Amino acid sequence: MMYINNMKLTLQIKLLPSNEQAKSLLTTLKEANVACNQISDVIWQKKVFNQFKVHHLVYHNLKKATRLSAQILIRCISKVIDTYKLDKKVQRRFRPLGAITYDTRILSYNIGKQITSIWSVDGRLKIPFVCHNPKYFPYIKGEADLVYKKGKFYLFQTVEVPEDDVKDIEEFIGVDFGIINLATTSDGNKFSGKAVDNVRQKITKLKRALQKRGSKSAKRHLKKLSGKERRFKKNINHIISKQIVQLTKDTSKGIALENLKGFKVTVRKAQREQFGKWAFNELRNFIAYKAKLNGIPVVFVDPRNTSRTCSRCGHISKSNRKTQSKFVCVQCGFSLNADLNAAINIASRASVNKPIAVHPPVVMTPSLGTASHLL
């Protein structure tokens, strides 16, 4: 069994600065990014990529030449060094208003009054803020990025949420992923992939037309399109995961998902191309983390043959799967929607495996393996 005690999430906090405060924040971002570019110049010219050496080369000059605090400068140095970690062959440039990182020495919160105290080149600023998830405030920990986006300032604050004690869960709701239904739960809820498919078809058509043109502006449009598609799927994943967690919340059941290793196997090639492997992984991760936040245990089970196994008699055969949507057992004749049959198998594997988490070992079916664990 593997337990993770804390979950790291990012809390989006919107700052509500006065005009003057906004100016100070902008100046701070600008000065920090100018410094980042200067650090990058030095790294590039001297071909020095080691934190300690770079610090030695740039820190004192920058401290003298800028109004940036020691803490911000140290953050800037690490930021620039990090960008060279992947590739040392291209010199890095930083956007004039790119995000900068704060830690507790230069940023604090008054939760009750909803005010942050944030360092700027013009001194500490007390800025009101809003946040839609105040329940996470007690868990604020570590760094935050100050981000300027479409004329607004945000803090992307790291929070570490402790995992609730695992409840004594007897039953699990299994979730199966597919294309016709992006998700099917073992208690019969279906989340259609139709909207996704319509948008995908539209986008594919557009993409083809643009690819044919091949012009510069066509390429720009293609890039925009793939961003749009990504955001659309992400939104769908948020909606579905939220609903599944909501539906489970009141049942005092846990959620069972297929573990990642076999996930690649079960989401077949054609399906991966339609919704995208990353999108299924994202959906799966969204369900897992939203469940955790609501104190719902999540169990990952061995995914082998979940779609070929009869959920009534346990018979495993390729020919059980008559069509994409229909399951008919060749042994006992049991027939059911194929996604639902798979979801029930996932749920029952969790129930079989689960007692190891809470009680001494009970029943273990050898073919199920011991791969299941609590996240």
Kindly list the residues in this chain that would bind Zn ion in the complex (CB under 5 A).
310, 312-313, 315, 329, 331-332, 334
Given the complex with Zn ion, which of 73 and 342 has the nearer CB atom?
342
CB of 315 to Zn ion, least distance (A): 5
CB of 320 to Zn ion, least distance (A): 8
Given the complex with Zn ion, which of 4 and 332 has the nearer CB atom?
332
* Helix extents (H) in the chain: 19-46, 51-65, 70-86, 194-213, 216-249, 260-266, 269-275, 277-293, 338-353, 355-358
d(CA 62, CA 323) in angstroms, rounded, equals 67
* Helix extents (H) in 67-193: 70-86
Among candidates 239, 347, 242, which has minimal Cα distance to 290? 242
Given the complex with Zn ion, which of 268 and 315 has the nearer CB atom?
315
Given the complex with Zn ion, which of 70 and 313 has the nearer CB atom?
313
d(CA 301, CA 371) in angstroms, rounded, equals 6
Name every residue whose Cβ is closer than 8 Å to that of residue 88 and which is 6 or more positions away in sequence: 47, 49
CB of 328 to Zn ion, least distance (A): 9
Sheet containing strand 115-120, strands side by side: 100-102, 140-149, 152-162, 6-15, 123-130, 115-120, 107-110
Given the complex with Zn ion, which of 128 and 314 has the nearer CB atom?
314
Given the complex with Zn ion, which of 70 and 332 has the nearer CB atom?
332
CB of 304 to Zn ion, least distance (A): 17
Q: What are phi and psi of 82, to 5 degrees?
A: -55, -40
CB of 345 to Zn ion, least distance (A): 11
CB of 306 to Zn ion, least distance (A): 14
